[in-house]
Structure 1
Amino acid sequence: MTPPAERENAAAGNSDGSALQHLQRARRARLLFQGNLMIGTLLLVAVLGMVNYLSFRHFLRVDLSRTKLYSLSDKTISILNSLTDTVNVIVFFQPQQEIYEEVENLIKEYKSACDRLHVEWVDPDRDLARAEELARKFEVTEANVVVFEYHGRRKYVTADDIAEYDYSMVGLGHAPRKVSFKGEQAFSSAIYSVVSGERPKVYFLMGHGERGIFDYDPQKGFSRITREIERDNLEVHTLDLAKKKMIPSDCRLLVIASPRVPLADWEIDLIQKYLQDSGRLLVLVDAYSETGLEGLLEAWGVRLDNDIVLDPTRTLTGREIFITDYGNHPITEKLKGISSIFYTPRSLRPLEEETEGEAADRPRVTILAQTSKAGWGERTLEDSTARFDPLEDIAGPVPLAVAVERGPTASETDIRPTRLVVFGDADFVSNGALTGGDRNFFMNALNWLLERRDLLAIAPKEYKETRLLMTRGDLANLFWLTVVIIPGTVGLAGMLIWWRRRE
């Protein structure tokens, strides 16, 4: 072979060798890239899985609703933190039910706050077999009910317990309007009810023209507040001393709601003996009414004045008084910023220094609510024009509600102290006047008397209607903005871009 041929063969061999090396390097690079890609993908999947796991186990729920419908109160958190065993929650709700979304969100909030709640959702229309099984087990006879079960004890919360409706416009062809959401109050009371297993008995005195606890009169009846009491896991009974001749031994609280006929002396003696034995008494008295309780209450440090309280700075019509000035007491500690409304109340005056007994055993009287300094107790209301008379009337601020306690406090000893709460008005918890603030005030007093601090009232959440009111000019501006200006601007921008590209 000639030298040129040898050189050509050598060059060809070198070329083949370099090409082979290039292919090998390319293959290694490709394999390395694929390996890195696979490792990166696996790492990404692992990271996403870890993030998903952590977010499932540790997450933050934020209530963005306008009126904080789903935010749990401190009272509810306290009840949930006290659970020592599992509470079963079975939700029999149809998704098309009007308050289904609110119930779902609130139950999720409870579940996220406490892992001792076992929640099961059942759609009665779709999960027929499971719904029938659970309905038979828990004796559910209607849809749209939430069952709370603990150690065989059950509490049922219906849709009517969860939301309050305004039916005033139904007769005019309008649908009922949702007014307030009471889900937290209903659910927390149900949990407390099944866990505690105790239903203290509250007796309402009858036989003297008192307000009827089962009276559904839309103005004067007490049926609404009775339902609130029962929802707080309390038994409500009536007591006619003319028939019983005694206060039952299981009476945890005696309520006297605006008697129109004075109580007899022997009835007063029974009540006094009940109080001496560490009893609990709640009294509601209206203006210009003789109750027969005046002497009894003075013995416990409270004087009922025969007057009517007015406060021109806290009223709209002159009849009602908006209460915002509360005393420092467990009953009122959660009422700051919440108004209660009393209607033509009478004044109450603490008489601690005038009551008998040693200082340690003397009744301790605390003012719970009072008027502003501009208010006064009118004693000589002879016409529609009332003016403060410093010689006759009681100067403000005028007390309208007081709490009385006699005996050792709970922190000092286990001896049960005597407790009383007196309101200078009964209308504020009647069917026609009961508001969120009134309900809270009354239920807080009730639960303080019963020493049930966990169940101090949870106010319903008010629904806020948001309406967009637009004038003809607003509608015209909206038309020009959405139909002419915005589409025209987009079209003009497109034409300019097309023109520039064409050039």
Structure 2
Amino acid sequence: MALNPARQQASEGAHAPHGEGWLLPLGMASLLLGLLFLFFWILLGLGLDGDAPDAEAATVIARRWVLLSIGCFLGLQGLVLVGVRLRRSEALGAGASRLALAANAVVMVALATVLLGLGNYVFSRHELWRADLTSQKLYTLSEESRRLVAALEGQVKLVALLPPGNREADAVERLLRQYRDASPRVLLESYNPRTLDSRELKLRLEALELDPDASEGELLGVVVQSGRADPSGEWRRERSKHIALHDFWKRDATDPSRRVFLGERLLSSAIREVTEGEPTRAYFLTGHGEKDIEDFEPRTGLSRLVQALRQRNVDVEELDLLTREGVTVPEDCDLLVVAGPRKALTEPEVAAVTRYLDGGGRALFLLEAWYRSAEDGGGTRFDASGLEEVLAQRYGIEPLDEAVLLLFADPRTQRQAATPQLWCESLDKTHPITQPLALRGARIAFYSARPIQHRPTLQVDARSLVTTASWGQRCFSTPDPARRMQTAELIRYGPFSIGVAAEYAPKPDAGEATPRKRSRVAVFGDVEWVTNQFLQEGAYSNQELFLNTFHWLLEEERLMVGESHRPTSYRLSMTSGALERIQALACPGLPAVALALGLFAWILRRRS
């Protein structure tokens, strides 16, 4: 029976000439082995530590040369064998063509993998180019730190005592270069203490105010100094702070196997400390059921807020006015924070706060919209903090005895319900606190907030910072939020102001030689927006709003930012049914799809 010429040609092309069938498998095996040797060469290079002894480092380098030589030889041999096999198959039929295409695809994928690995290694080791692909730019100098060094009046020198070839030290040195590039007032000096003789090392350590007899682990790190370079180029030091290398990293509390880099946090705090001298002091009022600054609970604690302040060279302390002699606010108080009092301040305490504000004090009032049943059982009522009269008389600010609720459709009952949790996108675009946030389209989350209204007052500039205008008629306030069914006489529709900032600038009396100091206050109708839960949420800008308010109260407008760095945790919540569907899709769903596609391709080829 005669064969089809095309089928006969394909059948002949599917078999290699005698003696040449071994070229392709041998070439592919040689190529893959070469890639494997090159892969181990890269891994051994990444594991080379600058802290290793010289003999051990020399052994590692020799092994790398052996791996590189063998890998290159096997790779080139494989390419030559595959190339010879493909050149001798040019005259064969369709079977050989398919074989050539498959071999070509394998070779191209292997070469692309090698080039990608080598390129990544070269770029990571020699700092030719880097890209920060994290959503919050965690490995790029933050806007706040750039503003900090740009606003420096004097000069800052960063002295790096770091060993080369150490990955931890390399991360610190990259960060130091970002500080240097951010401002001409930041100087960078770097040297390896292991390469200096004992006499020169001792002189340099004494100049840096470090103990020459300390261990190497205590000396390695960064020294941050403030001062100026005189006309002769000699550095005149004013203040100095040393940060050990091992302090730049810490174990993650939630995942001990993961380490967190604290470089920017430590360096910016040290720059503040050496340039500002005495730290800022913030006192948190206690004794009235306020939020605890040492509480780590998500919904009740302020530990994250206090941590953010301490990172910015702020001393945070609690203040119980009744335990102080004379019931007075300390003279070194730069900022007084009243975080959600649940019972009224006494008259002596209110008088002490009033005197502090009259003397040019700065205060942040977070007046919580909490409520409780009245003793006679007739509905609910709000408890006064005792500061309402002071805020109304001095600044024209009045916290209302109402709670803001948001209407939404309950998916379970398909009925309209109300929730005390809301987020606000309507921020004042002209006030220094909220302007950078408004330009970025930031959102602020609140929970059970009370409206804050302000009226025009002589010598007071009061402006609303955050409002519920974006919610329209879906947002309302009521003095009885515990009632399930709200009647028309209890409902008042917005928009509502949740936060107000005011500056009191009295005119000097006729007999005064110098004008009195200005006083600034910020009042928010909620305290939970600064608790741990809301400060760590990456979807909201609560942390940025608090820090900007803090800087504005202290007249540090140059440090206000639209976004700050913080690692964000994301949660994926799903029901048990959704989890079962995902598991069914992964196994056996995905393998079944692959088998179906293979069967479909086989049927198409059989028909052709």
Instruction: Check whether TM > 0.5.
Output: yes
Given candidates 270, 276, 279, the residue that maps to 2:352 is 270
Change in CA separation of 1:267 and 1:102 when aligned onto 2, cut-off 3 Å: same
1:403 aligned residue: 501
| Larger displacement relative to structure 2 (97-106 or 332-341) | 97-106
1:168 aligned residue: 254
Superposition map of 1:57-456 within 5 A = 63-67=131-135, 68-72=137-141, 75-83=144-152, 85-91=154-160, 103-120=172-189, 134=205, 137-138=209-210, 146-150=222-226, 151-155=237-241, 167-168=253-254, 175-176=257-258, 183-184=263-264, 186-244=266-324, 245-288=327-370, 289-299=383-393, 300-312=395-407, 318-327=419-428, 328-336=430-438, 337-352=441-456, 355=457, 359=458, 361=459, 363-371=460-468, 372-373=471-472, 374-383=474-483, 385=484, 387=486, 389-407=487-505, 416-435=517-536, 437-456=541-560
For 1:243 and 1:311, how far apart are their aligned partners in 2?
Answer: 41
Change in CA separation of 1:120 and 1:426 when aligned onto 2, cut-off 3 Å: same
1:17 aligned residue: none
For 1:320 and 1:145, how far apart are their aligned partners in 2?
Answer: 46
Kindly indicate whether the alpha-carbon contact (under 8 Å) linking 2:280 and 2:314 is maintained by their aligned counterparts in 1: yes
Larger radius of gyration: 1
- Between 1 and 2, higher relative CO (CA 8 Å, sep ≥ 6) is seen in 1
Cα-to-partner distance string for 1:240-281 (whole Å, 9 max, x where unaligned): 211221112222221111112210112112211221222211
Kindly indicate whether the alpha-carbon contact (under 8 Å) linking 1:78 and 1:454 is maintained by their aligned counterparts in 2: yes
Kindly indicate whether the alpha-carbon contact (under 8 Å) linking 2:132 and 2:140 is maintained by their aligned counterparts in 1: no
The alpha carbon displacement at 1:226 in A equals 1.3
Local SS of the residue matching 1:208: coil
Cα-to-partner distance string for 1:89-133 (whole Å, 9 max, x where unaligned): 244668898876654433222222334433345779999976997
Change in CA separation of 1:340 and 1:382 when aligned onto 2, cut-off 3 Å: closer
Local SS of the residue matching 2:423: strand
- Which amino acid is the alignment partner of residue 133 of structure 2? S
Kindly indicate whether the alpha-carbon contact (under 8 Å) linking 1:376 and 1:395 is maintained by their aligned counterparts in 2: yes
Q: Which runs of 5+ in 2 are unaligned?
A: 1-126, 227-236, 371-382, 412-417, 508-513, 571-584, 599-608
Change in CA separation of 1:463 and 1:348 when aligned onto 2, cut-off 3 Å: closer
Local SS of the residue matching 2:176: helix
For 2:309 and 2:246, how far apart are their aligned partners in 1?
Answer: 16
Kindly indicate whether the alpha-carbon contact (under 8 Å) linking 1:214 and 1:223 is maintained by their aligned counterparts in 2: yes
Report sequence identity in percent. Answer: 29
Normalised to the residue count of structure 2, the TM-score between the two structures is 0.56
The alpha carbon displacement at 1:77 in A equals 3.7
| Larger displacement relative to structure 2 (277-286 or 304-313) | 304-313
Kindly indicate whether the alpha-carbon contact (under 8 Å) linking 2:359 and 2:517 is maintained by their aligned counterparts in 1: no
Local SS of the residue matching 1:433: helix
- Which amino acid is the alignment partner of residue 590 of structure 2? R
Kindly indicate whether the alpha-carbon contact (under 8 Å) linking 1:208 and 1:260 is maintained by their aligned counterparts in 2: yes
Cα-to-partner distance string for 1:446-486 (whole Å, 9 max, x where unaligned): 11111122333561154799xxx998369959x99xxxxxx
For 1:368 and 1:319, how far apart are their aligned partners in 2?
Answer: 20
The alpha carbon displacement at 1:321 in A equals 1.8
Change in CA separation of 1:273 and 1:76 when aligned onto 2, cut-off 3 Å: same
1:36 aligned residue: none
- Which amino acid is the alignment partner of residue 504 of structure 2? R
Q: Which runs of 5+ in 1 are unaligned?
A: 1-58, 481-503
- Which amino acid is the alignment partner of residue 366 of structure 1? R
Aligned residues: 400
2:99 aligned residue: none
Cα-to-partner distance string for 1:384-428 (whole Å, 9 max, x where unaligned): x465x553233212111111111179xxx9853211101111122
Normalised to the residue count of structure 1, the TM-score between the two structures is 0.66
Kindly indicate whether the alpha-carbon contact (under 8 Å) linking 1:70 and 1:109 is maintained by their aligned counterparts in 2: no
